[in-house]
């Protein structure tokens, strides 16, 4: 008969193995928890969709980018009335020449830029009359030199001419107004396409000394938008506004001359399509609007519908949309701070 004998050394070894196994299991469990994907926060487990959206009233001009085509003649020139040497020049390409100033001097004599309805075509003396006299008189008065209102050349008109010439460094003859001392401008402010001469150049009488933009007989928008917010509109070219007809045309001579002086028109002259450029077509006066998500509008008709705000229905007119926002106008919209995003589409619009 064999007696069982406790082996303390073996027991100790087995206990160590068991403890190590337990520790290993515990460590694996902890590591597993650490490496397991974190559960989504309770705030993200269930996506809550907003039922309203904040809005605020703003001014709206319904701006549209359009293409303008100008009906133009060939280039025009600033003409030298004298022969001689260019002794000074303030001409710069794309710069401006203004009536009542001097851009060039020939043989030390400043040439006076003057915009008149009828170009000066002769020397004027006391008692002369005609369209050229009235045109010169009107421009001298416009420039602030008192030339009177008589239909003939008077001593008062001579004094006005002399004062203008002296202000530019010229030495006027008080017995005659010499047309050769003036360079005619088609408009009171004219842009320059190209300076044709420089200081030191020798020029002949009648020679072009600067190229001016062509005359514009008319202008129109070629891609007139079909859906526009109602109201009088204007064409914004660079920083200048040009009223247009309903079909997007400009025919007023003063406006057309002004257009010919804009940087956009001048830049088009060096392109493959002279007289064609882009501009902005917008409302002459802004309207107050709300920009709302399209889904906030219900009971939509041809041009309008309704929005719901704080259980109150507002009838609105749809003016346009941009980048997923619909612009609407209506009464008391300045007080609207939010709109319902999912109003019942079948509810009445009152």
Is the pLDDT assigned to residue 7 strictly greater than 90?
A: no
d(CA 36, CA 28): 12
Query: Distance between CA atoms of 118 and 131, rounded to whole angstroms?
Result: 7
Instruction: Quickly list H helices, the chain.
Output: 8-35, 42-45, 131-142, 155-167, 253-259, 263-268
Q: In sequence order, what DSSP letters do the residues of 336-347 get, joined into one string?
A: --EEESS--TTS
Is residue 251 predicted with pLDDT exceeding 90? yes
Portion of the chain with pLDDT greater than 70, in percent:
86
CB count within 10 Å of CB 25 equals 10
299 conformational bin, left if phi > 0, alpha if psi -120 to 50, beta if neither: left
Please give the residue that has the higher pLDDT: either 269 or 22. 269
Q: What is the pLDDT of residue 25?
A: 55
Which of 71-85, 105-119, 263-277 is the most confident on average?
A: 105-119
Tally of CA atoms within 13 A in the half-sphere of 157 that contains its CB? 24
CA dihedral of 281, 286, 288, 289, whole degrees rounded to 10: 10
- If 0-12 CB within 10 Å is exposed, 13-18 middle and 19+ buried, where does residue 97 land? buried
pLDDT at 21 over 60: no
3-state secondary structure of 330: strand
pLDDT the model gives residue 324: 86
Q: Which range, of 27-41, 43-57, 130-144, 145-159, averages the lowest pLDDT?
A: 27-41
Q: Residues 171-226: pLDDT tens digits?
A: 888 889 999 999 999 889 888 989 999 999 999 999 999 999 888 999 999 999 98
Helix%, strand%, coil% for the chain, nearest 5:
25, 35, 45
Q: Quick one: which of 98, 58, 50 has its CA closest to 342?
A: 50
Q: What's the residue count for the chain? A: 350
Residue among 162, 159, 178, 185 nearest 76 (CA): 185
Who wins on pLDDT, 99 or 36?
99
More confident call, 270 vs 293: 293
Determine the Cα–Cα distance for residues 309 and 341; give it in Å rounded to an integer. Answer: 10
- For residue 220, the model assigns a pLDDT of 96
Reported as a single tens digit per residue, the pLDDT across 202-215 is 999 999 999 998 88
The mean pLDDT value for 254-270 works out to 89
Res 262 pLDDT > 70: yes
Q: What are phi and psi of 15, to 5 degrees?
A: -65, -40
What is the pLDDT confidence band of residue 37, given thresholds at 50, 70 and 90?
low
* pLDDT of the residue at 4: 42
Task: Tell me what the mean pLDDT of segment 140-157 comes to.
Answer: 94
Q: Write down the mean pLDDT value for the chain.
A: 86
Q: How many CB atoms lie within 10 A of CB 327?
A: 20
Give the pLDDT confidence score for residue 22 in this predicted structure: 46
How far is it, in rounded angstroms, from Cα 172 to Cα 140?
15
């Amino acid at each position: 008969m064999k007696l069982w004998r406790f082996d303390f050394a073996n027991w100790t070894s087995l206990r160590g193995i068991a403890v190590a196994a337990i520790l290993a299991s515990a460590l694996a469990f902890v590591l597993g928890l650490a490496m397991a994907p974190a559960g989504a926060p309770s705030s993200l487990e269930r996506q809550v969709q907003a039922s309203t959206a904040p809005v605020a009233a703003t001014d709206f001009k319904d701006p549209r980018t359009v293409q303008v085509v100008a009906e133009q003649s060939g280039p025009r020139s600033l003409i030298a009335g004298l022969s001689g040497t260019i002794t000074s020049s303030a001409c710069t390409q794309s710069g401006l020449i203004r009536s009542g100033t001097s851009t060039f001097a020939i043989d030390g004599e400043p040439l006076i830029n003057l915009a008149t309805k009828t170009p000066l075509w002769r020397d004027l003396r006391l008692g002369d009359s005609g369209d050229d006299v009235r045109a010169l008189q009107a421009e001298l008065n416009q420039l602030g030199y008192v030339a009177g209102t008589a239909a003939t050349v008077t001593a008062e008109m001579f004094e006005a001419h002399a004062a203008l010439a002296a202000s530019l460094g010229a030495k006027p003859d008080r017995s005659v107004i010499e047309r050769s001392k003036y360079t005619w401008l088609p408009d009171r402010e004219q842009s320059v396409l190209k300076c044709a001469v420089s200081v030191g150049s020798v020029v002949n009488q009648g020679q072009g000394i600067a190229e001016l933009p062509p005359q514009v007989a008319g202008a129109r928008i070629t891609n007139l938008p079909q859906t526009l917010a109602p109201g009088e509109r204007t064409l914004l070219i660079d920083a200048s506004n040009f009223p247009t007809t309903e079909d997007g045309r400009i025919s007023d001579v003063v406006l057309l001359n002004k257009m010919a002086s804009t940087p956009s028109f001048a830049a088009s002259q060096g392109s493959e399509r002279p007289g064609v450029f882009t501009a902005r077509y917008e409302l002459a006066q802004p309207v107050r609007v709300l920009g709302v998500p399209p889904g906030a509008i219900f009971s939509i008709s041809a041009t309008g519908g309704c929005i719901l705000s704080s259980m109150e229905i507002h009838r609105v007119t749809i003016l346009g949309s941009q980048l997923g926002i619909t612009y609407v106008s209506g009464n008391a919209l300045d007080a609207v701070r939010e709109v319902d995003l999912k109003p019942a589409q079948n509810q009445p619009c009152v």
